[in-house]
Structure 1
């Protein structure tokens, strides 16, 4: 079994304020990592700052912080703060995100996502190393920025990457790649793009439940919201699911959400969401690892027969 076994924080069934005890328990359960996310709930940094104090043995990572919702300097400051709180244990995960998050929710500009991610990565490498940065990049310009207190141990930087161009950037210039919504078999195709030496991280949505119909109903709602986003639609086209997902995309584009949900096949839900009893789920997660995933980051979702805290314990690698 991989030595990395991550958990998403905070948990889906509770606020960050109510997450302390379970986060404190993660290291003794065998979890090695805690990874945040940033969509429309908590921000990507605050949970990690608290976890740095609550569970000092964990590696902490953001999966991911968008590169277009903060200025480059502010992003460097936030990363430096976490690197100071958890020296050698913080990994900064950044990515292009999506037009909905960047433009509709944050009044930013979602333009040249690949170039913006590449430019931000290159800026952060220099800034977090303590350099004074004056540079004109393709997507932004920085004049005379230097961190007041650069971290003694600069954090590793990993990229959200779904398709070959971004995956190759992650392998060539970053410290790893983060992916999402894929099956164990899909891991092999992703791994082939980055080679054996690049860390591959993926968030895996897990429902500890043997009620297959209920899981599939819930899974369809989750997946339809993601797989209709252009970047994920393109990802699954690349993975070979274009034909099977076409009816869902057509119904969604026509505004018929119920038809879109019905058009999402059972086999796609079963491929992309880990479900079953806890032992079955752990075995499924191990399939991802066996196919080349270095760091599974579990995201237990509500709806199963057991509460989230029990699922966190039963999914632990020490079980």
Structure 2
């Protein structure tokens, strides 16, 4: 991969699980449209559509924006037929298609009844994308990769990797596994606010659901955390390693740790202290855009 390709992503992106037009009513669609227009203007490089987006939602979002790169973060390979995904991407206007990146993941065993041999399933899915009537080639896709095998596959068969719920230390290990050329775009969850006790409470509410998923806990154990760190929604050291907690200046410092570890791009998933994640945190997005400034 080239540095020119990486520039399409920018340095800082926004990861959001709330931008699903198909899951809301007319008022919700209007709110999403307003948020998209603002994100397009704020200067973020990439908008990551979280919480298992559908191809239709992704197509609607990329069509509704004009500048920002749009990526799925992450589309589950178990939920969507590869040929149909490729056909939906091919139906996009060519200019919109150039701004779209297909992020793919194997999800989690507890969430997928037919979950089996995830690595082999991903290889087969990539083969199907390559064989589609209108292929989605390696230059337009990224993989949700945590472990060494999937990271190696991300370097060989995609632009690179989009790891979720990872530390800066994992980012350094991922960079070694990927090599110097592949894209490395980790997600970093932000809880913005000056009340650190409230921020930690909010972060534990976010983290607790992920601590039920073995792919994440196994990865954290590989990084040196213990089962004791998983109790009560996460120990203080686990929260501090996985989240950016504090004001915009602290968020900028934490993102810098991931860049120093080898990230090309950091995708910020933003909460405000006390928020349950259901709202679009537009004020926080504005505050962070101002703090990062030209570094976006």
Alignment TM-score, normalising by the size of structure 1:
0.77
Q: How far has the Cα of 1:93 moved from its partner?
A: 0.8
Q: Is the 8 A contact 1:6 1:33 kept in 2?
A: yes
Preserved CA contact (<8 Å) 2:193 2:272: no
- The C-alpha deviation readout for 1:133-167, integer Å capped at 9, x for no partner, is xxxxxxxxxxxxxx3xx379986111111000110
Q: Look up the match of 1:282.
A: 252
Q: Give the CA deviation at 1:9.
A: 3.8
TM-score by length of 2: 0.83
Contact 1:6 1:35 in 2 (8 A): yes
The 5-angstrom pairing of residues 63-212 of structure 1 reads 63-82=73-92, 84=94, 86-103=96-113, 109-127=114-132, 147=133, 150=134, 156-212=140-196
SS at 2:162's partner residue? strand
**Deviation at residue 94 of structure 1 after TM alignment:** 0.7
SS in 1 for 2:267: strand
Is 1:20 the counterpart of 2:33 in the alignment?
A: yes
Count of paired positions:
275
Aligned to 2:293: 318
Shift in Å, 1:10: 5.4
Aligned to 1:303: 273
Of residues 71-80 and 210-219 in structure 1, the stretch that sits farther from structure 2 once superposed is 71-80
Distance 1:310 1:304, change over 3 A: farther
Q: Displacement of 1:100 after TM fit?
A: 3.1
Q: 1:266 aligns with which of 209, 229, 236?
A: 236
Aligned counterparts, 1:39-58, within 5 A: 39=52, 43-58=53-68
Q: Deviations over 1:196-249 (max 9, x none)?
A: 1000112211111111111112222322221331111111122221x3xx1355
- Stretches of structure 1 that go unaligned for 5 or more consecutive residues are 104-108, 128-146, 250-259
The root-mean-square deviation of aligned C-alpha atoms, in Å, is: 2.8
**How far apart are 1:116 and its partner, in Å?**
0.4
Q: Distance in 2 between matches of 1:224 and 1:177?
A: 24
Match of 2:3 in 1: none
Asked whether the 8 Å contact 1:67–1:96 carries over to 2, the reply is: yes
